[in-house]
Amino acid sequence: MKRILLVGNKNWETEPILNAMLNKRLCPTLSSPAICNYPWNYASGTVAPRAIWNFGTDATVELWCVQDVVDPKWNSSSSQGKHEDLKQILAFSSLQPSLIIALGTAGYGTADNHIGCVVIGTNVFIHNFHPDHTNPLSDWDEPAVFGKLLPSALPASFFDLFNGIKTAIETGFLKPFLNPAPTIELLADTVNTALSVVNVTNYQEYDQSDKAGMDAVTGISPAPPVVSVETTHGIIRLLADCPFVFMSGITDRFLHFKDDVNGKDAQGNVKTEAQNYTAAFNIGVVVGNLLPLLPAWL
């Protein structure tokens, strides 16, 4: 029996992902979950998945939300809290994970417009924006893995799984309200890299922290193709020593968080929730079409 962990970051990311996965018109080959905790009525800090799918005796798939598991004593964006508390999900089952898939919204790695697209890759680079312990809300430091390109043991054949489902996936993608990409598509490649900038709990620091992280990752040789800039994929990557892949729904261009995520419509309404929802929902369309293929592949 294989154990596959799907790990979303915030609840406002995980819920749209699950919404898409439960939609039979968009994910027609995915069976109904054996357990579905929706709506989520548990207290913060509860170690329980949002949903579980069973694929006979071949595999079990659990969808988790980092924010659900982390003790509310922590700031909801604390990398330290996420790193310390997320390990609890490993004890939920006696099975060790065979595959971990990190899920979440992200900015793209350049100013190119890929808003609404879902990017998939295997490499992670973790940058500590507060190495001098200046953020008491998140003081996580792990020099052995920070500032290094962390590859995955995921076989390249994983990406062949998308050959037969790419059209179905892209047909189901939603179009974000703010600055949508000219072509909203699935961008999957084993060399794609996620930049995780950690110990950032103040959204006002995003431009500064993202730039610092990008300077760090592009300073290594050869510089990897960064397609995802966020805070948590790297934390999920360190959860267990097993094959890993990330899936990011793109909400904004590099250094355009304020414009692309917190922008307004013609009536002056801030569209943050809608922008995040569509990007996260598109991740769910990908996962919902992919899952039925994974047990046989594993």
Mean pLDDT across 283-293: 99
Instruction: Write down the pTM of the prediction.
Output: 0.98
Q: Specify whether the CB–CB gap between 275 and 251 falls below 8 A.
A: yes
CATH of the domain at 283: 3.40.50.1580
Q: Is 236 in a helix, a strand, or coil?
A: helix
pLDDT digits (tens, 9 = 90+) for 36-76: 999 999 999 999 999 999 999 999 999 999 999 999 999 99
The total domain count for the chain is: 1
Q: Is 204 in a helix, a strand, or coil?
A: helix
| Residue-level pLDDT at 223 | 96
Gyration radius of the chain over CA positions: 18
pLDDT digits (tens, 9 = 90+) for 7-26: 999 999 999 999 999 999 99
Other beta carbons less than 10 A from residue 226's beta carbon: 23
What is the pLDDT confidence band of residue 225, given thresholds at 50, 70 and 90? very high
pLDDT digits (tens, 9 = 90+) for 22-44: 999 999 999 999 999 999 999 99
Backbone angles phi, psi at 264, to 5 degrees: -120, 160
What is the pLDDT confidence band of residue 281, given thresholds at 50, 70 and 90? very high
Q: Which sign, positive or negative, has the C-alpha torsion 215, 203, 111, 244?
A: positive
The CA-atom distances, in angstroms, between 230 and each of 28, 205, 233, 266 are 30, 12, 7, 28
Cβ contacts of 90 within 8 Å, gap of 6 or more? 96, 97, 239, 240
Q: Whole-angstrom Cα distance, residue 196 to residue 188?
A: 18
Amino acid occupying residue 118? V
102 - beta bridge partners? 7, 246
| Residue-level pLDDT at 272 | 98
| Residue-level pLDDT at 126 | 99
Domain carrying residue 166? 2-297
Query: If we measure between CA atoms, which residue out of 76, 95, 87, 67 comes closest to residue 2?
Result: 95
| Residue-level pLDDT at 167 | 98
Other beta carbons less than 10 A from residue 112's beta carbon: 12
Q: Whole-angstrom Cα distance, residue 69 to residue 47?
A: 5
| Residue-level pLDDT at 239 | 98
| Residue-level pLDDT at 121 | 99
Cβ contacts of 289 within 8 Å, gap of 6 or more? 26, 27, 29, 30, 165, 168, 169, 172
| Residue-level pLDDT at 10 | 98
pLDDT digits (tens, 9 = 90+) for 185-209: 999 999 999 999 999 999 999 999 9
Tell the burial category of 175 from Cβ atoms under 10 Å away from its Cβ (0-12, 13-18, 19+): exposed
Q: Which sign, positive or negative, has the C-alpha torsion 242, 243, 247, 248?
A: positive
Q: Specify whether the CB–CB gap between 264 and 135 falls below 8 A.
A: no
